[in-house]
Amino acid sequence: MLTDETKPSDFKKSQQADHTHIKGWGIDADPQNDPTYPIKKRINEEHEDYAWERPQQQPENAEILKSVERPNLTAVFGSASPPEGVNGAIRKLAFRYSESSYGRWLPLVLADRLGAVEGIIDDLKNGYLPNIFAERGWGAEWKYNKKSFILKFAVTAVVAAVAVSVISSKKKNKDD
Amino acid sequence: MVPFNIACGKCVFCKQELYGNCHESNSMATAVGGIFGYSNTAGGFQGWQAEYARVPYADVGPTVIPDWMDPDDAVLLTDVVPTGYQAEEMAGIQKGDTVVIFGAGPIGIMAAKSAWLFGAGRVIVIDHLEYRLDFVAKYAQCEAYNFNSIGDPVVFIKAQTDSLGADVCIDAVGCEAKGNLMNTVLGTKLLLQGGSTTALHWAINSVKKGGIVSIVGVYGPTDALVPIGNVVNKGITIRANQAAVKRNLPKLIEHVKNGVLDPKQIITHRVPLEEVADAYHIFSRKLDGCIKTVLIPPSA
């Protein structure tokens, strides 16, 4: 199997059976040996699997990506960023893999970076010129950390100038 | 007061009071419950740096702000205070224990203050920002040391504890920890691991054999470099979780009412909501002596 995709029927109830026929079953059980105390409150429903009375289901009005490690959508979910564009396609691919797989998380990191660029392109397409200086908090950097701001700007300008110079030089050599 | 985590109250995890681990609030990852504005990994919910917000399960999570409470205390009771408090609760502190907290940010500061409530015998905070160390030393009445001045922090703590190590170590830093070049490059710059694990590394190596490491610092979902061999050899107990805000809120409200905790003192910057980008920048870059920012909506 190339992906980790699941369907609801893949999720089965845990097999609970009576083991009292095993000699010594439970003789060393000690409820006080509970390293989760007091963070987790022990209740009788712990071993009943996914069987609780579910809250009312939120209607699915947008595409919601779901982990392969659960059979269904949660009763409520966020719809702030449905998958769109190239970053959305990468996210959909990533969600075909287990949460314990790099095949899920590394593409999501890439999708996040692409999403930032696609967001700027969308703004420009809709006639909005984003104020990147303000949105990145560079006003605060200028106000409280002027020396660092100027140094970073200077370094970026020098690196960009060197890069342009190298590329222009290679192009000129190629033309010659 | 609306906790930062979203809890349904009906799943087995909420019934166990693990309100930060709800199974009905995040479709995108089973490993984490729903959290407001904390990326798609935490459910894709819009955040709360707004005048109006959508609150799922509003009959479960929110608590009415008492009439006597300052709103500045109230806002800190939704995340910072419960997280710092739970860090110490998970540490299972016994009276007289030596507690070392890595990180003098808002969480570390509240953890240091909370340690005394559990009967700690000695509280030490380690960080690299002098202005935060000065603050926590006064606010939490604890010892505070700069890891740039003490040599290897692990050796320092062993020297301070007659070679045995601390009874409890708290990681209140998480993925952006400074102090080790390799971890910073791999974790913070190249994102090849779920963050820089320097603070956790120091916590594991500084704690006593048979001691407890409590983690409230957050990390990304990929793997992270951790001296797990030392965890085994030293018989360390590790406890970690997102704070179950709702569970501890009644107790913390009482502590604020009785003057035991005074959270609003850690607020250094009050920024108009419209300048949220600057507020984030000031906080993340630790500019202008920033410890904690709060955002003020136009209607306030």
pLDDT tens digit sequence for B4-50: 999 999 999 999 999 999 999 999 999 999 999 988 889 999 888 88
Residue whose tokens read 């985590």:
B5
Residue B138 Cα distances to B111, B116, B132, B135, angstroms: 14, 14, 10, 5
Q: Give the pairing type, strands B34-35 and B5-6.
A: antiparallel
Going by C-beta distance under 8 Å and a sequence separation of 6 or more, which residues neighbour residue B274? B298
| Structure confidence at residue A175 (pLDDT) | 72
Chain B residues touching residue A45 (CB < 8 angstroms): 12, 15
Rounded Cα distance, B140 and B116, in Å: 9
DSSP count for chain A of H helices, then E strands:
5, 0
- Give the bridge partners for B296, in sequence order: B272
Q: Contact at 8 Å (CB) between A37 and A70?
A: no
Chain B residues touching residue A73 (CB < 8 angstroms): 27
CATH 3.40.50.720 positions along chain B are 80-240
Query: Is it true that the peptide bond before A38 is cis, omega within 30 degrees of 0?
Result: yes
Going by C-beta distance under 8 Å and a sequence separation of 6 or more, which residues neighbour residue B80? B106, B107, B110, B263, B266, B292
Q: Please give the helix or strand (H or E) that residue A113 lies within, else none.
A: helix A102-125
Chain A residues touching residue B26 (CB < 8 angstroms): 74, 77
Does residue A154 lie within any of the structural domains?
Answer: yes
Residues A124 and A79 grouped into a single domain: yes
Residues A118 and A152 grouped into a single domain: no
Q: Contact at 8 Å (CB) between B57 and B3?
A: no
CATH superfamily of B80-240: NAD(P)-binding Rossmann-like Domain (3.40.50.720)
Does residue A97 lie within any of the structural domains?
Answer: yes
CB neighbourhood size of A104 (10 A) = 23
Residues A136 and A150 grouped into a single domain: yes
Does residue A172 lie within any of the structural domains?
Answer: yes
The closest CB to that of A140, out of B15, B46, B282, belongs to: B282
| Structure confidence at residue A1 (pLDDT) | 60
Q: Verify whether the Cβ–Cβ distance A39 to B241 is below 8 Å.
A: yes
The closest CB to that of B15, out of A45, A77, A91, belongs to: A45
* Among B residues 237-296, those touching chain A with beta carbons less than 8 Å apart: 237, 239, 241, 244, 277-282, 285, 287-288
Does residue A106 lie within any of the structural domains?
Answer: yes
The CB-based long-range contact list for A127-136 (8 Å cut-off, 24+ gap) reads: A134/B277, A134/B278, A135/B277, A136/B277, A136/B281
pTM reported for the whole predicted model: 0.93
Closest chain B residue by Cα to residue A139 = B278
Per-residue confidence in pLDDT tens, chain A, 176 aa: 689 999 999 999 988 889 999 999 999 999 999 999 999 999 989 899 999 999 999 999 999 999 999 999 999 999 888 999 999 999 999 999 999 999 999 999 999 999 999 999 999 999 999 998 998 899 999 999 999 999 999 999 999 999 999 999 888 887 76
Does residue A33 lie within any of the structural domains?
Answer: no
Q: Verify whether the Cβ–Cβ distance A95 to B40 is below 8 Å.
A: no
Q: Please give the helix or strand (H or E) that residue A176 lies within, else none.
A: none
Residue whose tokens read 């109006």:
B52
Residue span of the structural domain in which A118 resides: 62-130
Chain B residues touching residue A84 (CB < 8 angstroms): none
Does residue A40 lie within any of the structural domains?
Answer: no
| Structure confidence at residue B277 (pLDDT) | 94
CA proximity to A36, closest of B120, B88, B244, B92:
B92
Average pLDDT over residues B70-94: 97
Coil vs helix vs strand at B43: coil
Average pLDDT over residues B152-162: 97
The closest CB to that of A141, out of B41, B89, B285, belongs to: B285
Q: Please give the helix or strand (H or E) that residue B111 lies within, else none.
A: helix B106-115
Chain B residues touching residue A50 (CB < 8 angstroms): 23
Tokens of B90: 């998970």
Between A17 and B146, the higher pLDDT residue? B146
Q: Is B105 on the interface with A (CB under 8 A)?
A: no
| b/e map B235-272, b = 16+ CB within 10 Å | ebbbbbbbbbbbbbbeebbebbeeeebebbbbbbbebe
Closest chain A residue by Cα to residue B289 = A144
Mutate to test the interface with B, among A43, A136, A144 (most CBs of B within 10 A): A144
Chain B: closest CA distance from residue A121 (Å) = 20
Coil vs helix vs strand at B101: strand
* Among B residues 115-174, those touching chain A with beta carbons less than 8 Å apart: none
The closest CB to that of A80, out of B6, B45, B220, belongs to: B45
Q: Contact at 8 Å (CB) between B182 and B234?
A: no
DSSP structure class, residue A40 = S
CB neighbourhood size of A133 (10 A) = 12
Q: Verify whether the Cβ–Cβ distance B27 to A91 is below 8 Å.
A: no
Does residue A102 lie within any of the structural domains?
Answer: yes
Residues A124 and A163 grouped into a single domain: no
Does residue A56 lie within any of the structural domains?
Answer: no
- Give the bridge partners for A26, in sequence order: none
pLDDT for B129 beyond 90: yes
Residue A17 Cα distances to A14, A22, A48, angstroms: 10, 12, 13
Rounded Cα distance, B235 and B232, in Å: 5
Rounded Cα distance, A123 and A129, in Å: 6
Mutate to test the interface with A, among B5, B281, B288 (most CBs of A within 10 A): B281
Number of domains making up chain A = 2
Q: Contact at 8 Å (CB) between B15 and A59?
A: no
Q: How confident is the model at residue B202 (pLDDT cuts 50, 70, 90)?
A: very high
Chain B residues touching residue A48 (CB < 8 angstroms): 12
| Structure confidence at residue A44 (pLDDT) | 87
| Structure confidence at residue A2 (pLDDT) | 86
